[in-house]
Amino acid sequence: MKGVAIIGCGAIGTLLAEAIDGGEIKAKLIYLYDIDESKAVELASKLKQKPKVARNINDILEDKEVDIVVEAASQKAVKEYLKSVLDAGKEMLVMSVGALLDPDLKKLYEKHRDRVHVPSGAIAGLDALKAIRLVGVKKITLITRKPPKALKYSQYLTNKKIQKPTLVYEGPAEEAVKLFPRSVNVAAALALYSDAPVWVKIIADPNLRNNIHEIHVESEVSEIKIVVKNMPHPQNPRTSYLAALSAIALLKELCKRQ
């Protein structure tokens, strides 16, 4: 049985911990870690498996029982811990996928694709992109529409009052994930799965209750258009519920491997 450590005890980290604790994911939950230790302590107290609360990342890195480290915290956590996790011989499931568009981290990802795992997140069609990558993807455009409250954390929108559907960003995925680090991980997933540039448009729409991602792919093989309408996570409106479920599905699959 695989040993798992979870970094980040917010909405997604909690769902993953509960999926392991309830037996949906066949694994042993060994550690919980959060920069706010009280969150990890509180979550651990609710679980039957009673995982340990890590004092720091070294507790996780030095424990040979830990096979898979799940990042459910932030891009900063990926930047701080990915190399150390890989150097310790462990695998990492990355939720804050935007971090992997950083040039140095992207090199690590490309070198260790077998040990750095990216869930499909809040979109569909990534299996097709992996196939098309064999002949080359010409162009990908992502149009993301979200309620303003899901974007207001970004300093990019600090002084903007959104009263009608408004294009708040248009540009490359690499810049989008810096300006909206919690909102467009899907752009990074598209870039990583396709090995192609992704052009991103972000629209803040006060009329919306859910998040909508519209993906356009052009290639020699086919033209693809995908529209995914997601309900926001009930505990975190910046995260699509589907993103959390995709992480559960991927971790479940990883834990089946020998």
Q: Domain of 171: which CATH number?
A: 3.30.360.10
Q: If you average pLDDT over every residue of the chain, what do you get?
A: 93
**How is residue 190 written in tokens?**
């598209």
**How is residue 166 written in tokens?**
């408004």
The pLDDT of residue 134 = 93
Question: Is 242 inside a domain boundary?
Answer: no
Q: Residue 231's pLDDT band (boundaries 50, 70, 90)?
A: confident
Question: Is 240 inside a domain boundary?
Answer: no
Does the pLDDT of residue 165 top 70, yes or no? yes
The pLDDT of residue 235 = 66
Does the pLDDT of residue 238 top 70, yes or no? no
Query: Does residue 70 contact residue 13 with C-beta atoms inside 8 Å?
Result: yes
Question: Is 245 inside a domain boundary?
Answer: no
Taking the C-alpha atoms of residue 199 and residue 136, their distance in angstroms, rounded to an integer, is 16
Question: Is 164 inside a domain boundary?
Answer: yes
In percent, the amount of the chain with pLDDT more than 70 equals: 98
The answer on 61 and 157 residing in a single domain is no
Domain of residue 159 covers 126-231
Question: Is 256 inside a domain boundary?
Answer: no
Average of per-residue pLDDT across 27-52: 97
Average of per-residue pLDDT across 129-158: 90
Of these residues, 112, 213, 216, 233, which one is catalytic? 213
Q: Residue 203's pLDDT band (boundaries 50, 70, 90)?
A: very high
Give the total number of structural domains in the chain: 2
Average of per-residue pLDDT across 131-147: 94
Taking the C-alpha atoms of residue 174 and residue 187, their distance in angstroms, rounded to an integer, is 9
The answer on 152 and 102 residing in a single domain is no
Average of per-residue pLDDT across 194-200: 95
The answer on 104 and 165 residing in a single domain is no
Residues 101, 98, 181, 70, Cα dihedral to 10°: -140
Q: Residue 257's pLDDT band (boundaries 50, 70, 90)?
A: confident
Residues 58, 59, 64, 70, Cα dihedral to 10°: -80
Q: Residue 139's pLDDT band (boundaries 50, 70, 90)?
A: very high
- Does the annotation mark 213 as catalytic? yes
The answer on 99 and 160 residing in a single domain is no
Question: Is 111 inside a domain boundary?
Answer: yes
Secondary structure (3-state) at 40 = helix
Taking the C-alpha atoms of residue 17 and residue 79, their distance in angstroms, rounded to an integer, is 22
Does the pLDDT of residue 95 top 90, yes or no? yes
**How is residue 194 written in tokens?**
């396709």
Does the pLDDT of residue 55 top 70, yes or no? yes
